């Protein structure tokens, strides 16, 4: 290859050089001004180059973490999501607390209706109208057919009738008019509070008239806009959004308290195995000491005209999820500030699992790039049945799902974190005398102790993970009560660190 000398002639023929060459007759002043302009242009150009470099660096650094929440309905998926939001986007979480008031009101109203419907059901079965309503309140052998409601409960039932209106009001506030399923009110005979009161496990029990009429929300923020009652911010003090539902609840509060604390009502609920304390609003409640914090045991506060939900109230609220939704947020503070988290929350009921093809291969492409799965198994459900299918034991359903998730070949490389959840209810249940061994035979003669039970369940779930994972992977298992802010904070931080570490390792950045 020969080199061609660059002559003045060649340069002159280069149109670019010709255009950029300073004019031959340039004065000193013109030259100084041209050089100044060129300097300014260079500085701008450098600034642009630097901005591009920084943006590239940031894009390279930008962390996107995708987490999938799985587990049966009422296992605590949406509550776990709310814990992430509370911990890592506290400002946004605080802003939204007022929007949960309508959900909490509905949870309370439905709890009351569960009690009233149970009483109505007993009245219907009353074949001896002249008999005393209860001869021996503590006798479990007494037939319910001999029970007649005492006059004071009849009065309470009548006085609490306005709550039916509040229920319709709240449903129309939270649910769009075309959602027929959610707006069908199941009066008379339903013993569900949003379908999630503890239904006891008895395969031979005849099905009671039961309507699964739980209110649900579809993905998106539409229900929050409806709940706020106005398109803009709902305010932060609660004072500016006094509404009709809260006014009626406030008006009825002494009757609600009287109903909830009535010994005959408690006895009827116990006999009917209607366990409101396992439903919404009772998180962290010790079944033996029902006076600990819960909506129904804190009625003065939650029915006050200026009621503003606390963090705990929001975590205890129950609103069923329908569909699949991805919540995205950026960490607001700390070392991970700016990291984007996308958490996928799915509806866990059986119909949802069928409708959205939870696990078959059609489902996987949607979730295949998740960094980790948090699987929630509510281990307190050993003596309960699914709200949507009363022939299926809750624990058994959880174990089968766990096996299905662990053995899925397409998810073989995804880390799975197990939350053995609702340990607070497990503890209360065992301490109240329910014997685990009666429902889980393999528990054998071990002590009926919550810690022993947790350890036992952990080892069983771990063995399934080991045996059914297509390729060996580490087992991460936690015993949780995700409504408990104190203990869950540490667990979620550990999970977050683990997920980020694995994410970095996978990106070969470690
Ligand atoms: N006591 C107690 N209650 C819990 C716990 N975890 C969740 N809950 C409550 O259980 C109810 C159901 O929890 P969700 O988070 O809505 O359940 P989910 O898995 O999202 O249910 P779906 O949306 O139907 O799939 C809510 O009222 C929660 O407050 C827990 O560890 N202890
Ligand atoms: Mg949910």
Q: Which domain holds residue 339?
A: 63-89+331-504
Same-domain check for residues 385 and 472: yes
Check the annotation: does 292 bind a ligand: no
Is 241's pLDDT higher than 90? no
Atom of ligand 1 nearest to the CA of 376: 19
Average pLDDT, the chain: 78
Where is average pLDDT lowest: 154-163, 218-227, 365-374, 488-497? 218-227
Residues 108 and 77 in one domain: no
Looking at the structure, tell me whether residues 336 and 294 fall in a common domain: no
State the closest ligand 1 atom to the C-alpha of 480, by its place in the atom list counted from 1: 31
Listed in order, strand segments (DSSP E) in 176-219 are 216-217
Confidence of residue 210 (pLDDT cuts 50, 70, 90): very low
The reply, when asked if residue 319 is annotated as ligand binding, is yes
pLDDT per residue as tens digits for the range 434-472: 999 999 999 999 999 999 999 999 999 999 999 999 999
Q: What is d(CA 415, CA 497) in angstroms, rounded to the nearest whole number?
A: 13
Confidence of residue 13 (pLDDT cuts 50, 70, 90): low
Indicate if 241 and 380 belong to the same structural domain.
Answer: no
Please report the ipTM that was assigned to this predicted complex. 0.99
Q: Are residues 220 and 135 in the same domain?
A: yes
Mean local confidence (pLDDT), 78-91: 93
Q: What are phi and psi of 477, to 5 degrees?
A: -130, 135
Query: How far, in Å, from the CA of 297 to the mean position of ligand 2?
Result: 24
Within 8 A by CB and 6+ apart from 215, the residues are 106, 171, 174, 175, 182, 194, 319, 320
User: 226-235 in b/e burial notation, b at 16+ Cβ within 10 A?
Assistant: bbbeeeeebe
Query: Are residues 252 and 358 both part of a single domain?
Result: no
Reported confidence tier of residue 359, pLDDT bands at 50, 70, 90: low
Lowest-confidence range among 81-85, 384-388, 440-444?
384-388
- In angstroms, the CA 21 to CA 12 distance is 9
Q: Give residue 70 CA to ligand 2 midpoint distance, Å.
A: 10
The pLDDT of residue 238 is 47
Single out the residue of 415, 328, 410, 419 nearest to residue 366, CA to CA: 410
Atom number in ligand 1 closest to CA 69: 19
Confidence of residue 55 (pLDDT cuts 50, 70, 90): low
In a domain, 448, yes or no: yes
- Which of these, 395, 338, 341, lies nearest to 372 by C-alpha position? 341
pLDDT surpassing 70 at residue 136: no
Considering the domain architecture, whether residues 297 and 357 belong to the same structural domain is answered as no
Residue 147: the pLDDT is: 55
Residue 79, annotated ligand binder?
no
Burial class (CB in 10 A: 0-12, 13-18, 19+), 398: buried
Residues 133 and 193 in one domain: yes
The SS3 assignment for 120 reads helix
Nearest CA to ligand 1 atom 12: 74
The structure's pTM equals 0.77
Contact indicator for 450, 308 with CB cutoff of 8 Å: no
Nearest CA to 180 among 211, 209, 134, 143? 211
pLDDT at 293 over 80: no
Contacts of 218 (CB under 8 A, 6+ apart): 179, 322, 323
Which ligand minimizes its atom distance to the CA of 80?
Answer: 1
The tokens describing 99, both together, are: 């929007």
Atom index in ligand 1 nearest the CA of residue 322 equals 23
Counting the structural domains of the chain, the total is 2
Quick check: 146 and 122 in contact, CB under 8 A?
no
Asked whether residue 24 is assigned to any structural domain, the reply reads no
Residue 105's contacts (CB-CB under 8 Å, 6 or more residues apart) are: 166, 170, 245, 246, 249
Q: Are residues 303 and 348 in the same domain?
A: no
Q: Which residues, judged by CB distance below 6 Å to any ligand atom, belong to the binding site of ligand 1?
A: 71, 73-79, 196, 280, 282-283, 316, 318, 320-321, 347-349, 421-422, 424-425, 481-483
Confidence of residue 213 (pLDDT cuts 50, 70, 90): low
Question: Is 22 exposed, middle or buried (CB count within 10 Å of its CB: 0-12, 13-18, 19+)?
Answer: exposed
Query: Cα 97 to chain center, whole Å?
Result: 14
Retrieve residue 28's tokens.
Answer: 């000193």
């Amino acid at each position: 290859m020969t080199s061609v000398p660059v002559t003045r002639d060649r340069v002159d023929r280069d149109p670019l050089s010709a255009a950029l060459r300073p004019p031959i007759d340039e004065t000193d002043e013109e030259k100084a001004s041209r050089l100044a302009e060129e300097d300014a242009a260079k500085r701008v150009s450098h600034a642009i180059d630097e901005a591009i470099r920084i943006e590239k660096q940031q894009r390279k650094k930008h962390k996107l973490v995708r987490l999938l929440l799985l587990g049966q309905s009422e296992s605590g998926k949406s509550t776990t999501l709310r814990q992430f939001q509370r911990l890592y986007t506290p400002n946004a979480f605080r802003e939204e607390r007022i929007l949960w008031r309508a959900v909490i009101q509905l949870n309370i109203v439905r709890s009351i209706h569960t009690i009233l419907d149970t009483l109505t059901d007993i009245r219907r079965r009353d074949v001896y109208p002249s008999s005393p309503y209860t001869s021996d309140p503590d006798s479990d052998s007494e037939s319910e057919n001999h029970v007649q409601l005492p006059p004071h409960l009849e009065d309470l039932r009548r006085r609490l009738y306005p709550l039916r209106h509040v229920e319709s009001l709240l449903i129309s506030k939270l649910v769009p008019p075309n959602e027929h399923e959610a707006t069908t009110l199941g009066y008379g005979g339903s013993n569900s509070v949003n379908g999630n009161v503890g239904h006891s496990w008895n395969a031979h029990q005849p099905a009671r008239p039961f309507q699964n009429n739980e209110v649900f929300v579809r993905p998106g923020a539409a229900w929050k806009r409806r709940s706020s009652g106005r398109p803009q911010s709902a305010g932060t003090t609660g004072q500016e959004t006094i509404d009709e539902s809260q006014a009626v609840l406030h008006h009825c509060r002494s009757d609600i308290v009287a109903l909830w604390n009535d010994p005959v009502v408690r006895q009827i609920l116990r006999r009917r195995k209607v366990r409101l304390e396992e439903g919404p609003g009772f998180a962290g409640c010790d079944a033996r000491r029902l006076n600990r914090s819960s909506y129904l045991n804190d009625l003065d506060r939650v029915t006050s005209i200026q009621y503003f939900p606390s963090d705990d109230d929001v975590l205890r609220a129950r609103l069923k999820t329908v569909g699949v939704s991805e919540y995205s947020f950026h960490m607001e503070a700390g070392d991970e500030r700016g990291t984007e988290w996308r958490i996928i929350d799915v509806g866990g009921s059986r119909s949802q699992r069928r409708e959205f093809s939870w696990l078959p291969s059609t489902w996987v492409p949607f979730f295949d790039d998740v960094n980790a799965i948090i699987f929630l198994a509510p281990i307190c459900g050993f003596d309960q049945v699914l709200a949507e299918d009363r022939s299926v034991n809750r624990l058994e359903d959880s174990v089968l799902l766990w096996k299905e998730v662990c053995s899925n070949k397409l998810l073989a490389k995804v880390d799975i974190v197990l939350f053995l959840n609702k340990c607070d209810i497990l503890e209360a249940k065992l301490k109240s005398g329910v014997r685990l061994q009666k429902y889980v035979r393999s528990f054998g003669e071990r002590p009926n102790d919550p810690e022993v039970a947790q350890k036992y369940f952990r080892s069983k779930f771990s063995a399934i993970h080991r045996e059914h994972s297509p390729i060996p992977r580490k087992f991460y298992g936690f015993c949780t009560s995700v409504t408990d802010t104190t203990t869950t904070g540490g667990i979620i931080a550990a999970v977050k660190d683990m997920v980020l570490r694995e994410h970095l390792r996978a990106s070969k950045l470690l």
